[in-house]
C-alpha cells in the first residue's frame, strides 16, 4: 500500500479551522531532483498564474494567510515530529528528508545540509523525536526559508507530490477548469493522493463517477460533477475511515465548502482578486509564491 500525506492536527485561527501539517510517506524523497512545477506538465489545464493562485489558496487553508509560509516549523506533538514549510513537511515520515535532499542538490552548502544524516535516521525508524535534530534546527530552517532556492524547492516538491497526481487524475476524469484541478489538488494534499487511500482523492473521484454514472470525460457537466465530488468529500471528512482522523477532519469541512463556494460564484479560472469564503474570509489580491 502506498502511504500518502494526510492532515493530522487542526488549529482554530480567526474563527477558521485550519488543518496544519501532516505526516507524509516519503514520496517526496523518491521524487527528489526531478520535481517540476505542475503547470509545466504535459496536459496540465492550469497555467502559471492559476498554479500560483492554487499555492496561495493552500496557504489560506494551511496557515490562514494568503502566501506560502516557507519558514513555518513546529512540533505539533501528533506523531510527525517537526512539521514545517509550505505544505507541512514532516521529519518522522521522510518527506522532510526528501525536501532537504532536493535542496542539497540545488544548493550543496545550504544551512540544512548538515541535518541530512539525522533526518535519514528519523525517517528510517519512523521516529517523531525532534531532540535528535538539536535546538538549532528550528533557527536553521527559518534561515533557509529566506533563501529563494529553498522556497523554489519547497514549491517544486509540493507540486510533484500532490499537484502532479491531481493533474493526472484530472486528465483521466476530463476536468478542464483550474478550479476543478484545485479541488483535486487540495483533496490530494489533505486526504491522500494514492489509489489505496480510503478517503483520498482517487477514491472520492471514483465514488463521484459511480454516483453520476460518468464523469466530464464521458459527458457529465463539470459543475455537476464537482458539486457531487465536494458532497462525497465532505461525507468522507465527516465520517473518515482513515485512522485517527475522526476528531479533526469533521472540523475542517469548511475547506471543501470554501472551494464549492468558488464554483457557486463562477470562479472557474481562479483569477485575482479571489475571496476564499466559508470560515476563512481571505482575499488573494496578488497571487505570489
Those residues with Cβ within 8 angstroms of residue 82's Cβ, 6 or more apart along the chain or in another chain? 73, 74, 75, 90, 91, 96, 130, 133, 137, 138, 141
The secondary structure of 126-143, three-state, reads: CCCCCHHHCCHHHHHHHH
- For 124, the grid coordinates are 528510517
- Active-site entry in 55, 56, 78, 182: 78
Query: Residue for cell digits 483550474?
Result: 178
Q: Clarify whether 261 is annotated catalytic.
A: no
Phi, psi of 246 (to 5 degrees): -65, -20
Residue 194's nearest CA partner among 30, 17, 49 is 30
Would you tell me how many other CB atoms lie within 10 Å of the CB of residue 131?
A: 9
- For 165, the grid coordinates are 497526481
- Active-site entry in 29, 56, 62, 209: 62
H runs (alpha helix) in 88-175: 95-106, 116-125, 136-144, 148-158, 164-173
Is residue 261 packed enough to be buried (19+ CB in 10 Å), middle (13-18) or exposed (0-12)?
Answer: middle
Q: Cis peptide leading into 273, omega within 30 of 0? A: yes
Q: Clarify whether 62 is annotated catalytic.
A: yes
Phi, psi of 287 (to 5 degrees): -60, 135
**Catalytic residue IDs:** 62, 78
Amino acid at each position: 500500500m502506498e502511504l500518502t500525506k494526510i492532515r493530522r492536527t487542526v488549529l482554530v485561527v480567526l474563527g477558521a479551522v485550519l488543518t496544519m501539517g501532516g505526516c507524509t510517506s516519503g514520496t517526496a524523497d523518491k521524487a527528489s531532483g526531478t520535481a517540476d512545477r505542475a503547470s509545466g506538465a504535459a496536459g496540465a489545464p492550469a497555467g502559471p498564474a492559476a498554479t500560483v493562485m492554487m499555492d496561495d489558496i493552500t496557504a489560506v487553508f494551511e496557515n490562514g494567510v494568503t502566501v506560502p509560509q516557507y519558514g513555518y516549523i513546529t512540533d505539533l506533538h501528533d506523531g510527525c515530529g517537526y512539521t514545517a514549510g509550505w505544505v507541512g513537511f514532516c521529519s518522522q515520515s521522510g518527506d522532510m528528508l526528501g525536501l532537504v535532499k532536493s535542496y542539497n542538490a540545488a544548493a550543496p552548502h545550504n544551512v540544512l545540509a548538515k541535518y541530512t544524516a539525522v533526518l535519514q535516521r528519523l525517517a528510517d525508524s519512523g521516529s517523531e523525536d525532534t531532540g535528535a535534530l538539536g535546538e538549532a534546527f528550528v533557527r536553521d530552517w527559518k534561515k533557509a526559508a529566506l533563501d529563494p532556492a529553498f522556497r523554489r524547492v519547497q514549491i517544486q516538491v509540493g507540486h510533484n507530490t500532490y499537484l502532479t497526481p491531481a493533474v493526472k487524475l484530472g486528465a483521466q476524469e476530463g476536468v478542464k477548469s483550474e478550479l476543478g484541478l484545485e479541488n483535486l489538488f487540495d483533496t490530494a494534499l489533505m486526504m491522500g493522493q494514492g489509489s489505496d487511500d480510503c478517503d483520498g482523492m482517487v477514491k472520492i473521484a471514483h465514488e463521484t463517477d459511480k454516483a453520476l454514472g460518468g464523469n466530464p470525460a464521458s459527458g457529465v457537466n463539470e459543475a455537476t460533477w464537482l458539486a457531487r465530488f465536494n458532497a462525497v468529500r465532505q461525507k468522507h471528512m465527516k465520517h473518515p475511515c482513515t485512522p485517527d482522523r475522526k476528531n479533526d477532519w469533521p472540523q475542517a469541512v469548511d475547506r471543501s465548502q470554501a472551494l464549492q463556494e468558488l464554483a457557486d460564484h463562477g470562479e472557474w479560472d481562479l483569477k485575482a482578486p479571489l475571496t476564499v469564503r466559508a470560515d476563512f474570509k481571505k482575499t488573494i489580491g496578488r497571487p505570489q509564491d
